[in-house]
Structure 1
Amino acid sequence: MSEIEKPARRIKGRGAASFTVGRFERRTYQAEDDGWHHEEEAAPRLPTQVREDIARSVISRNDSPDVGFSQSVNPYKGCEHGCVYCFARPSHAYLDLSPGLDFETKLFAKTNAAARLREELARPGYRCSPIALGINTDAYQPIERRYRVTRQCLEVFAETNHPVSFVTKSALIERDLDLLAEMARRGLVSVHFSVTTLDNALASRMEPRASAPHARLRAIERLSAAGVPVGVMVAPVIPMITDRELEAILEAAYEHGARSAGYVLLRLPHELKDIWREWLGIHFPDRAEHVMSLIRQMRGGKDYDSAFGTRMRGEGPFAQLIAQRFAKTARRLGYGAPPALNSGDFMPPRKASPQGELF
């Protein structure tokens, strides 16, 4: 059971402001101000807690028509980046934890992920197709420095000539440039950096523990210089908060070496709509209702519409305007499609032998 919610106020270094109750919990809590709370009081800092999670399987599959991959591996559950808008937050409700503060403070590291990955790639019926590494939560979030689960999985992909793709907000990916550059020469890897804003102050409030925008641009430049195919995802586009930066983000990313681009409109599934409303009320009370009004206009009058085909792009005049602006700018700058990854050279890993490897 998650902690009882306290009156919402900003917590330094965290995106969410409270322990939003998950949709599967049997009991709910109502926060009440007892008169002892003062605005000048700093909210208590919350430590990051990490548990080791022994995974039974690691390759997840999907057949969603508007997602550009059919297989994914997530080295972690929860994400310390704390992006308040993260569509994956509701997944923490399945763990009886809050999609709010628990999602970014109570994390799970799949420490046996590389071993499980090796087993699954070695199965006789496995058919190779690109795997997205770290989609539900960022594969290069801060705890990767200690646990190195992503690095271990990447080593398995490199060894077996298996294609892999990334979407990340972290400059930590530069640590693995030795593997990424070699895999890029074999057509096995592509990387997209998610950039929501170029405003450092806004980023620190909205995605507090992700790499700063300028660090992401620098990482784009370094990966591109090493021959790694790099793109940018302007994600999410948020009306009246970040949408005005669409062209500037595309221009900055292209200048630093990104050659493919995409965008995703803000999505608010399940508990995320409450977490987002709370954040708006704290940081943008003057325009909160206007922001939500525009979101509903793009979602058929609702906070969110999960229908394939529109959930990523929205509908209506404002969504059409964003699509037109993106297409015009991408065309002007010369963005193209990301390169197709090579699945033809895959070599299944051999099972470990007690006698070791002789040849």
Structure 2
Amino acid sequence: MNIAIFAITKNGTELAAKVSRHLINEGHQVRLFRPGRFPGEGEPFNGPVSRIVAEEFYRCQGLIFIMALGIVVRLLAPLIKDKRSDPAVVVMDEKGQFVISTLSGHLGGANELAQDLAGAFQAIPVITTATDVNGLPSVDVLARKYTLVMEPFNAVKQVNAALVNGEMVAFCSEFPLPFPPMQGFKLIPWDKLPITRPPGWLVVITNREISLPHEKTLFLRPRNLIAGIGCRKEIDPEKIKEALLHALKLARRSPTSLRLLATIDLRVQERGLQQVAREMGIPLVSFSREQIQSIFSRVKNLQHSSFVQKRIGVGGVCEPVALLAAAHHARLILPKTSREGVTVALAEESYGWWEQDREVPII
């Protein structure tokens, strides 16, 4: 996590240096800002701290303030936008007695950060989110842990409120995730997904586009689909996007679940592919002909084209690159489809898509 630490007093500056060293040892990237009139570690500033806070608010994933909570509220008020994008904010007093989770406790990870700092400095963590206070799970924490996208997002508050108020929430996952015990959820096996409306809210983890006779449904979309793409040179970006959305429709999968686009290294610089990846906010990865050939020799039943073999040196692109870019627990859910000069195949990861340390060559 990229974290900025701010202190405005001499004692606060000394505590900030200790906090910085702890976080660096934990693997975080840290920048420390202190008033120029106080010696010490970090970057000195002169003038109002509000200017630096405004810059770091949009750059960092976490902000730590060692000062009064009221000052922090006034600094952040003009900057706050949306809990999906606001960074985690934690406030400490300059004696290090309290660590207050202030903003983005669930999605941003401020609650976890506050707990970590409290443990490291023998401080009292101050956590006020209702689900945590009552020892209950929350769907936004679950979504953050397993890289799930919440649809519709405005239902999250209502589901968490139902849990806090003691209402039963039905829960069904297509994938065997290692969930901890979850008080307040009624677990439903995937093959028993209700076809009639159960009372209260229903939370469903799936990448499938499905219709349920249940108005109060929150979908948690895993980012576990990889689209392998082959295309002609200089093809129009719209044709690539149309082919990609057509493939997802054929597979009855949600575009929200796309995690990667993959292609051969001969095509990774194509303007159309790069533009589609940029517009959809998805990384584009590529593989060499040697890597593609290796998976042809390991995986049976991949479609092979003599024409493609003659032109670029391998018997196909979209199917092998989709599998190469996926994690170990993956399978093709849509074989090669062709549409106006673009081929698309879809691979699905059944496990491990939330892990951050993937060795995938992102271009």
Which band: TM-score by shorter chain?
under 0.3
Relative contact order: is structure 1 or structure 2 higher (C-alpha 8 Å, sep ≥ 6)? Answer: 1
Higher percent of residues as strand: 2
